[in-house]
């Protein structure tokens, strides 16, 4: 059987990340303690899991790393907890930090018991059997004979690279397995589906690479925002351009319509004027014809008489033809 390294001790981030001097005022409006001393209800399994998840996400953040004070660190853990919770919970920052310390203490005790079981190098004993033995050992050594209550937290922590640089994760260590462990109370907490031979998780991305990735992501987001802003402005410009084009068309159409109406009125007026003029000419002609027809030709010469008679004959012929 392969040699097994000691279990990983889960500790808080190193002291340089948790400076004490700014703890009391870096939290802003984040409540760090309960307003009264009334005891709150016990933590649920979901709360425990979310606290572990929050601690892992903040403590292993490759961008911030250890460049944060203790107050800043626990404020971020507190914010992560309340941002991602999908259940009712009003835990304060101090409650979350104390609960994490209690979880870490119990998980480390279990890791110690599991390491001692693995050190026995028992032949023919499966990893599930070792877990059962470790649980029994931990319960037997507990002053109150309590069972281990944080197997779900151990499952979350065993595959993670922690901030403790002195710790090493071996693929066969108690925290190096990768298959989820599901305790079954009906079988005396016998754990199944454990595969200790699987590889340990890959090394997390470094701080420099993480910052570079963050910078690229921010540049990508900036480009995306600029592109979206450009297209929004272009759409607004095109819409305004189309609107003005329609307005110009409508205005031109109305002007053309008015022009046609004016032309029609002008033509109508000209037709009326022409009709009036024709009537006037007819009246003048009738008066002239009447004068010629009623002219006394007895007192004029013979030639003028013949001329007047020819005019009268023409008038009569034209009238008859009409």
Residue 284 belongs to a domain: yes
Are residues 93 and 234 part of one domain? no
| Residues pairing with 182 in the sheet | 192
Residue 102: pLDDT band (50, 70, 90) is very high
Task: Evaluate whether residue 6 is within a structural domain.
Answer: no
Specify the higher pLDDT residue, 190 or 261.
261
Top-confidence residue, 198 or 110? 110
- Reported as a single tens digit per residue, the pLDDT across 115-130 is 998 898 888 888 888 8
Single pTM value for the model: 0.47
Tell whether 42 and 179 lie within a shared domain: yes
> Which of these three, 155, 174, 202, is where a domain ends?
202
Give yes or no for residue 78 having a pLDDT over 60: yes
Q: Are residues 54 and 84 in the same domain?
A: yes
* Token pair recorded at residue 171: 């693929």
Instruction: Assess whether 196 and 260 both reside in one domain.
Output: no
**Is residue 185, in this structure, part of any structural domain at all?**
yes
CA distance 210 to 64: 9
pLDDT for position 21: 36
Are 130 and 38 part of one and the same domain?
Answer: yes
| 43: containing domain | 15-202
Task: Convert the chain into a string of H (helix), E (strand) and C (coil).
Answer: CCCCCCCCCCCCCCHHHCCCCCCCCCCCCCCCCCCCCCCCCCCCHHHHHHHHHHHHHHHCCCCCCCCCCHHHHHHHHHHHHHHHCCCCCCCCHHHHHHHHHHHHHHHHHHHHHHHHHHHCCCCCCCHHHHHHHHHHHHHHHCCCCCCCCCHHHHHHHCCCCCCCCCCCCCCCCCCCCCCCCEEEHHHCCEEECCCCCCCCCCCCCCHHHHHHHHHHHHHHHHHHHHHHHHHHHHHHHHHHHHHHHHHHHHHHHHHHHHHHHHHHHHHHHHHHHHHHHHHHHHHHHHHHHHHHHCCCCCCCCHHHHHHHHHHHHHHHHHHHHC
Residue 207: inside a domain, yes or no?
no
Structural Rg of the chain based on CA atoms: 53
Identify the pLDDT of residue 39. 64
Q: Is the pLDDT of residue 86 over 70?
A: yes
Same domain, 172 and 135: yes
Question: Domain total for the chain?
Answer: 2
In a domain, 45, yes or no: yes
44 and 164 assigned to the same domain: yes
3 within some domain:
no
Please check whether residues 186 and 242 belong to one and the same domain.
no
Distances (CA, A) of 54 to 22, 83, 138, 161, 220: 21, 10, 26, 14, 27
Is residue 159 domain-shared with residue 24, that is, in the same domain?
A: yes
In a domain, 1, yes or no: no
What pLDDT, on the 0 to 100 scale, is given for residue 204? 55
Residue 149 has pLDDT above 80, yes or no: yes
- Domain boundary residue among 179, 202, 225? 202
What's the Cα-to-Cα distance from 176 to each of 6, 98, 311, rounded to whole Å? 11, 26, 138
In a domain, 4, yes or no: no
Q: Are 24 and 71 in contact (CB under 8 A)?
A: yes
Percent of the chain with pLDDT over 70: 69
More confident residue, 2 or 272: 272
| One domain, residues 198 and 70 | yes
Q: Which residues contact 32 (CB under 8 A, 6 or more apart)?
A: 74, 92, 93, 94
Residues 166, 237 within the same domain? no
The answer to whether the CB of 25 falls within 8 A of the CB of 176 is no
pLDDT per position as a tens digit, 227-276 = 888 899 989 999 999 999 999 999 999 999 999 999 999 999 999 999 99
pLDDT of residue 7 exceeding 90? no
> How far is residue 148 CA from its own chain's centroid?
42
Q: Which one has a higher pLDDT value, 194 or 215?
A: 215
Domain end residue (candidates: 202, 226, 250): 202
Q: How many CA atoms lie within 13 A of 151 on its CB side?
A: 20
Q: Inform me whether the pLDDT recorded for 67 exceeds 90.
A: no
pLDDT at 260: 93
Paired strand residues for 184: 190
Residues 125 and 168 both lie in one domain = yes
Question: In DSSP terms, which residues pair with 191 in a beta bridge?
Answer: 183
Mean pLDDT of 141-157: 89
C-alpha 88: how far from its chain's center? 25
């Amino acid at each position: 059987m392969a040699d097994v390294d000691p279990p990983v001790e889960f500790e808080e981030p190193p002291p340089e990340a948790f400076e004490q001097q700014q703890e009391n005022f870096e939290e802003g409006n984040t409540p760090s303690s309960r307003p009264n001393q009334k005891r709150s209800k016990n933590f649920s399994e979901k709360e425990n899991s979310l606290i572990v998840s929050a601690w892992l996400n903040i403590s292993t953040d490759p961008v911030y790393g250890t460049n944060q004070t203790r107050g800043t660190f626990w404020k971020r853990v507190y914010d992560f907890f309340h941002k991602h919770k999908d259940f009712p919970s009003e835990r304060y920052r101090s409650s979350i930090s104390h609960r994490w310390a209690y979880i870490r203490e119990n998980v480390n005790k279990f890791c110690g018991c599991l390491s001692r079981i693995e050190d026995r190098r028992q032949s023919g004993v499966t990893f599930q059997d070792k877990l059962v033995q470790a649980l029994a050992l931990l319960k037997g050594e507990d002053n109150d004979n309590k069972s281990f209550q944080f197997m779900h937290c151990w499952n979350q922590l065993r595959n993670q690279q922690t901030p403790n640089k002195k710790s090493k994760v071996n693929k066969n260590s108690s925290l190096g397995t990768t298959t989820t462990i599901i305790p079954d109370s009906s079988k005396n907490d016998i754990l199944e589906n454990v595969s200790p031979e699987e590889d340990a998780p890959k090394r997390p991305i470094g701080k420099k690479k993480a910052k570079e990735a963050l910078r690229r992501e921010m540049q990508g987001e900036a480009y995306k925002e600029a592109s979206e802003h450009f297209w929004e402005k272009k759409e607004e410009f095109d819409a305004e351009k189309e609107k003005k084009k329609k307005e110009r068309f409508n205005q031109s159409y109305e002007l053309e319509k008015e022009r046609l109406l004016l032309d029609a009125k002008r033509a109508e007026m000209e037709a009326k004027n022409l009709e009036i003029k024709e009537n006037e000419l007819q009246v003048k002609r009738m008066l002239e014809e009447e004068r010629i027809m009623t002219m006394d030709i007895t007192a004029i010469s013979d030639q003028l008489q013949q001329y007047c008679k020819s005019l009268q004959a023409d008038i009569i012929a034209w009238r008859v033809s009409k």
